[in-house]
Structure 1
Amino acid sequence: MNLPTFNLAGKIALVTGGSKGIGFGMAQALGHHDATVVISSRGTEEGERAVLQLREENIDAHYISCDVTKKSQVEDLVSQIVDRFGSLDILVNNAGLNIRKPLIEIEESDWDTVLEVNLKGIFLVGQTCAKQMIKQSYGKIINISSILGTIGMPFQTSYAASKGGINQMTKVWAEELAAYNITVNAIGPGYIKTPMTGDWLSDPERLQKIIDSAMIKRIGEISDLVGPVVFLASDTSAYVTGQILNVDGGWTAR
């Protein structure tokens, strides 16, 4: 019996929002398992700086600027990857943002901004990558959700709505794409130390409440996501699809 491995040599991976935070950590993880990694973001300077750091770690890394809310830019992104590397095997569909406000203070523009990036962006990138993966009869799509796609929390109306949508899209895509040897799963991080959560976690009282809510009494680190993303990107997960893997210290298991 030939057992599958976690090695990703020869695989081409795209990580959207890959210049910092969770996206950068996942790009590192895939690169250290020998994938060729393309990161995309809207901030060219940040993206190019991230690629230089990855290359210093002997990762075959590349940057392409893309606004995931613009269909033409997403199509150009995928076209550039395929033209240069010949395939697109792994998608980490990560680009996202958050605007935290109480329900009665959310502006229509706040709602539109979060849903456009977190839901429309995930949809556009997933759709475009799926078209290429269908041609290849192979692909791994990993959507980045959140525990807030499963549970409720104050000040998270638009963010939770977007992540719940991601969870449902993941299940639908898994059903549609299984016949093409494409698996679709999502990772739902709990609270992870990143630039996006830094201010939110700086309140000692709030931080303690978050820690108390998890079975494992600490805040998550980006390193906690390495195993899940490599597993779902590799052929060791060939029989896993349509799943939401919450990486949250046990929060959602209570």
Structure 2
Amino acid sequence: MYLPSFSLDGKLAVVTGATKGIGRAIALGYAEAGADVVLIARTLEDLEKVKKEVEALGRQAFTICNDIKDYKKIIAKVDELLGERPIDIWVNNAGVNIRSQALDVTEEEWMHIVDVNMKSAFFLAQAAAKKMKGNNKGKIINVSSVGGHMALRTGVVYAMTKSAIIQMTKNLAMELGKYSINVNAIEPWYFPTALTETLLKDEAYVNDILDRTPLNRIGKLEELVGTAVYFASDASNYTTGQTLFVDGGMTIYGF
């Protein structure tokens, strides 16, 4: 057999920020590919909605209602919920952005963005790796952003954290490879999410985005799922430390 398996049958995936946008799409994509899913988010009502959607696809869904910044509590809840059941896939998706200009960023904004996007992502990845290490396998997938690679007009702290996620992915891949743990990242461009909702209502802003996007359109959330499934499946067993752009070609744009 030369075509590796993209199936996630029998696997367990944990997804943070799992109730909206990219996180929800990935969670449902994993369920469709055969995985049971642990959904982590702050709002119980939203968690219950996505739980039902996962179950409608024939898979088990578990929920953890918790602020991502309180990562120690999340780790404890995961341990309590799963017991000895191994984690096969961990997706660090939860993120936040405050689009302040650099000269206007406050310390409170800086700390909030760093805590959500970077600090929590690292310590949750660390906890996942400790569990995966015992099974000598696992997939950690970090959701970065094109903003971690290209300069943005606003959101300098967000861009800093997303750049850090790319480097974190490389270093974790280096350290965890000996345990057969793969660590990769996804860098999306513009997709319809809570973070982009207001911007995508601005026709002039959207037109500017499209002018720099060879495919000349905003991405559809389902178009991220294939990349997430690839990184989670056996098809990516020899791929680690990589960041894959899902950006409509924006990062090849020449000025």
TM norm structure 2: 0.95
Q: Judging changes above 3 Å, is the alpha-carbon distance between structure 1 residues 137 and 81 closer, same or farther for their aligned structure 2 residues? A: farther
Say what the alpha-carbon RMSD is for the aligned residues: 1.3
- Residue aligning to 1:244: 243
Unpaired stretches in structure 1, ≥5 consecutive residues: none
What is the distance in 2 between the residues matched to 1:14 and 1:177? 18
- Measure how far apart 1:226 and its partner are: 1.1
Residue 153 of structure 1: SS of its match in structure 2?
coil
Q: Which amino acid aligns with 1:70?
A: D
Aligned structure 1 segments of 4 or more residues deviating by more than 3 angstroms: none
What is the distance in 2 between the residues matched to 1:243 and 1:157? 23
Deviation digits for residues 82-133 of structure 1, max 9, x if unmatched?
31x7110001110111111111111111111111100011111101001001
What is the distance in 1 between the residues matched to 2:49 and 2:77? 19
TM norm structure 1: 0.96
What is the distance in 2 between the residues matched to 1:91 and 1:72? 16
1:1-254 equivalence runs, <5 A: 1=1, 3-83=3-83, 86-254=85-253
Q: Say how many residue pairs are matched.
A: 253
Residue 143 of structure 1: SS of its match in structure 2?
strand
Q: Retained in 1: the 8 A contact 2:64–2:74?
A: no
Unpaired stretches in structure 2, ≥5 consecutive residues: none
Q: Retained in 2: the 8 A contact 1:66–1:77?
A: no
Q: Retained in 2: the 8 A contact 1:192–1:222?
A: yes
What is the distance in 2 between the residues matched to 1:157 and 1:39? 29
What is the distance in 2 between the residues matched to 1:220 and 1:2? 31
Deviation digits for residues 134-167 of structure 1, max 9, x if unmatched?
1110100000000011000111111100100000
Q: Which amino acid aligns with 1:106?
A: V
Deviation digits for residues 167-195 of structure 1, max 9, x if unmatched?
00000000000010100000000010122
Q: Which moved more, 1:38-47 or 1:177-186?
A: 38-47
What is the distance in 2 between the residues matched to 1:2 and 1:201? 42
Q: Retained in 1: the 8 A contact 2:90–2:128?
A: yes
Q: Which amino acid aligns with 2:45?
A: E
Residue 227 of structure 2: SS of its match in structure 1?
helix
What is the distance in 2 between the residues matched to 1:115 and 1:161? 9
- Measure how far apart 1:40 and its partner are: 0.5
What is the distance in 1 between the residues matched to 2:2 and 2:168? 33
What is the distance in 2 between the residues matched to 1:12 and 1:81? 12
Q: Retained in 2: the 8 A contact 1:15–1:37?
A: yes
Deviation digits for residues 15-61 of structure 1, max 9, x if unmatched?
00101111000001000000011110122222122212322333322
Q: Retained in 2: the 8 A contact 1:68–1:125?
A: no
